[in-house]
Structure 1
Amino acid sequence: MGEKKGNSNSKRDNLLKAVSERKSEIVHLSHNDLDAAGCDAVHRMKYSEIFTIWSSVGSFPSMLRDISALPGKGHLLSISDLGYCKDADKLVEKAVKNGWRICWRDHHRWTDKELCSIENTGAICIVDTTRCATAICAGDLMPGDTIAEEVARVVCDYDLWKHNDPRAKMLGQICTKRVNLNPVRDRLTKGIITDDWINEEYRNIETERKDAIKKSIRGMKIIESRYRVAFAPLHGYPSETAHEIRDEFNTDIEVIYGKNGRFSIRSVPPISHLIARKFSGGGHPPAAGGTFTFTLKDKMSLLFLKKSRCFNELVQVADTATAE
């Protein structure tokens, strides 16, 4: 356990060292999915050199805290596809004082208070829940560019759950593997939406995905209340697992959780983001993410009984949530 923590700290230290020694004047901090890959592709269409950092939602606050403490040198810290986090205004204010210029483009749900708190730091903040983050970046950085517009259209098809373009589904699933973010991003930068590598990678992932979903469903627990809520352990592919559970078990809300307590939530009623906020998270009305605080007792209960007090807490929150 200690060695794992040491390795994690070492990776963080190496990353921050690289940021400090960057040659690029643009640091792009984004999520770690297809929308983030699209955002980074648009940034690379606009700027010649980019220093890109992929971040999970859970790691974002600490990542922003670390970067804000580094000398900005008057360079741009561009944040995309990551929603407001606790104390974000304080972290952004610190970054500005340390010489960073900040531009934040996002499509998650923000409150007016959260948006004003960032704008009051002097940072530029563009929030639009009607488009994917890639489309926001394309419209702001590459207006009228046909390649950027096509990339944004395909990414939005997947990220906003339109499901009209089969190429979008392929790219979305491929990007569930972090190792694929760079190669997908590089292709999107050139306007490549599909090729032999994408087709082959998708075929390989499909087999793995089906096995992962079966494992999750075997460990699933359903709680009946105001809504029919499913809780399933994560074995990969949270979005696809949630959709499979909904189709097969007619659930209203699907919660896919990891051993560390982080969970992905999908819901038919537009309340996912409201539920996630109660668990140190956020996101979209139909899809969001948060974190359970698992104790040792919780972990043992999950292992042997497939249940946890955290599940009941989430159901209670869902019962009282009112769609905005």
Structure 2
Amino acid sequence: MDYYSIVHNDFDGTASAAVYARAVKSLPKNIWFTEPTKIHNLLEKLELRGVKSIMIADIGMNENTLSKVLENCKRLINEGAEIQWFDHHVWKDEWITKLSDTGVKVYHDVSTCGAGVVHKIMNPDDEFSSKLASADCSVDIWLHNDPMGEKLRRIVENNKDYEWKKKLIEIFYNGTLWNDEFQKILEDQMDAELKGYQKLPKYYRVIEIDGKKVVVAIRWKGPPDISYAAQYLMTRTGASVFVSANGKAISFRSGYIDVRRFASKLGGGGHPLAAGAGLKIPLIYRILRKIGFVSPANRWVSNVVRNVITQVGFYEYKPKDITTH
């Protein structure tokens, strides 16, 4: 079967492509790793070249690019393409309806990860795909219920290069979940992360909002990454929400609070338990941060966070069921 894969450039996108390949018993003729903010440009340039099937997975929809996505999906379908779109991000019902009306087969389920949606629809009886999707969902939607997820995420995102992700899809397609190469990468990553945890106290503070603790951090260089630091600091401080800012953007994480509401208030979005938005820290605080004075930037971000959470409130995340069109 000849088909194209278009997926997010992270663990979930990689896993989604592998699960789909196992379901159709064929690797894609070509694969693209992209972002929701760039999908419309990719579709606009896409040429079928004799390939009639396109799978898109773990790519959310943005309102400001919707019209271009619809236009290009309609063009490709008119040229003979069949498009399947699997996703788990939060969509408006009207987006799903409009995309379905162009002829795209949409599978939407916010209770799982992208690979989980593909697995449910395409090959629910494949044991290996079940293991891969479980590991992926554990870290992608912050379930943290499968130790393999913490290991594989480090492997996939250790290298951002196209060839590395393509190689991983082939490894997963052939039914290998772990090997000696992965073990060596994991050991090196863990060594770097353990050293990184020692520097974190300089970069975060804990504030209290409506009786709940919130960790606010200014981004540091190097490991650990945001997700692992969030888990560590929330556990250490007893916080319900972790927030980090890098000068241009802000990220929210939680184990049970719907943080997408906070990101949406700031014009962003994402997953219910892991979301983000643009947030430009004033220049003076960014300069101070660069020369080693982190506290002024942290106080400024903390004030923003306090205002947003106070306005929005804390809501526990309750997963919804699958939507298929």
Q: TM range, normalised to the smaller chain? A: 0.7 to 0.9
Map of 2:28 onto structure 1: 49
- In structure 2, the gaps of 5 or more residues are 318-325
C-alpha spacing 1:169/1:150, structure 2 compared with 1 (3 Å): same
Ranges in structure 1 where 5+ consecutive residues have no aligned partner: 1-23
* Aligned twin of 1:121: 102
Q: What's the % identity of the aligned pairs?
A: 21
**Does residue 1:66 correspond to 2:41, yes or no?**
yes
Alignment match of 1:292 (pick from 263, 279, 282): 279
TM-score where L is the length of structure 1: 0.79
What is aligned with 2:311? Answer: 320
Task: Name the counterpart of 1:15.
Answer: none
Residue equivalent to 1:79 = 56
Residue 27 of structure 1 aligns to a residue whose secondary structure is: strand
Q: Secondary structure at the match of 1:99?
A: helix
Alignment of 1:177-216 (within 5 A): 177=158, 178-179=160-161, 181-216=165-200
Amino acid at match of 1:292: L
User: In structure 2, how many angstroms separate the alpha carbons of the residues matched to 1:109 and 1:206?
Assistant: 33
Name the counterpart of 1:26.
3
**Whole-Å Cα distance in 2 between the matches of residues 310 and 75 of structure 1?**
48
Alignment of 1:130-169 (within 5 A): 130-169=111-150
Matched pairs, number: 296
Could you tell me which amino acid in structure 2 is paired with residue 110 of structure 1?
W
Residue type at the aligned position of 1:38: A
Choose from 232, 235, 248 the match for 2:236: 248
Distance 1:148 1:109, change over 3 A: same
Q: Deviations over 1:154-195 (max 9, x none)?
A: 323343444444322210222232245344333211111111
Deviating more after overlay: 64-73 vs 236-245:
64-73
CA distance in 1, matches of 2:53, 2:303: 44
User: How large is the RMSD of aligned CA atoms in angstroms?
Assistant: 2.7
Q: 1:122 to 1:217 in 2, by over 3 A?
A: farther
Distance (Å, rounded) in 2 between the aligned partners of 1:279 and 1:103 = 31
> Looking at both structures, which has the greater relative contact order when contacts are Cα pairs under 8 Å and sequence separation is at least 6?
2
Distance (whole Å) between structure 1 residues aligned to residue 100 and residue 179 of structure 2? 41
Deviates more, 1:130-139 or 1:45-54: 45-54
Tell me which amino acid in the other structure corresponds to 2:207: I
* 1:230 matches 2:206: no
**Partner Cα separation in structure 2 for residue 50 and residue 147 of structure 1:** 22
Does the aligned pair in 2 maintain the 1:230–1:255 contact within 8 Å?
Answer: yes
Q: So what's the TM-score if we normalise by structure 2?
A: 0.79
Pick closer, same or farther for the CA change 1:51–1:234 going to 2, 3 Å.
farther
Q: 1:301, 1:118 → 2: CA distance?
A: 46
Of residues 270, 277, 284 in structure 1, which corresponds to 2:264?
277
Shift of the 152–309 alpha-carbon distance from structure 1 to 2, 3 Å rule, reads same
Contact kept? 1:92, 1:121, Cα under 8 Å = no
Deviates more, 1:25-34 or 1:192-201: 25-34
Residue deviations 1:242-297, cap 9 Å, x none? 011111122221112334x2333112452211112233432222222222134423
